């Protein structure tokens, strides 16, 4: 496959990915990772004004690499939801740009 076709395929895949962005539902909220604490735990500043200590669930731990400054979807715990939560999803740069436009 030529470079032009590879680039075109990447762009089409990216546009298809942007068309299916998962938005927070129910009590989920957007958050920005402030600090990595180690052990798959992070301090996340949520858009509801609270700072939570969030973890990456075991099913996503190997596949979801999160750094400081990343935009994520946080699901607060039912018990202790004011202080703790789970990171459900991480957005790519293209998805963040699409969200800012909307």
Q: Quick one: pLDDT at residue 62? A: 78
**CA gap 82, 52 in Å, rounded:** 7
**Does residue 53 contact residue 41 with C-beta atoms inside 8 Å?**
yes
Mean pLDDT by 10 residues, the chain (102 residues): 82 68 88 91 92 87 84 90 88 84 80
Which domains, and CATH codes, for the chain? Answer: 23-101 (2.40.50.140)
């Amino acid at each position: 496959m030529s470079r032009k076709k590879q680039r075109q395929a990447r762009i089409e895949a990216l546009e298809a990915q942007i068309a299916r962005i998962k938005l927070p539902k129910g009590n989920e909220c957007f958050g920005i990772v402030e600090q990595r604490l180690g052990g798959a735990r992070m301090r996340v500043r949520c858009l509801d004004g609270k700072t939570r200590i969030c973890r990456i669930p075991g099913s996503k731990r190997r596949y979801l690499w999160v750094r400081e400054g990343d935009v994520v979807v946080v699901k607060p715990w039912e018990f202790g939801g004011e202080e703790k939560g789970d990171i459900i999803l991480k957005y790519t740069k293209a998805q963040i740009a699409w969200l800012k436009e909307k």
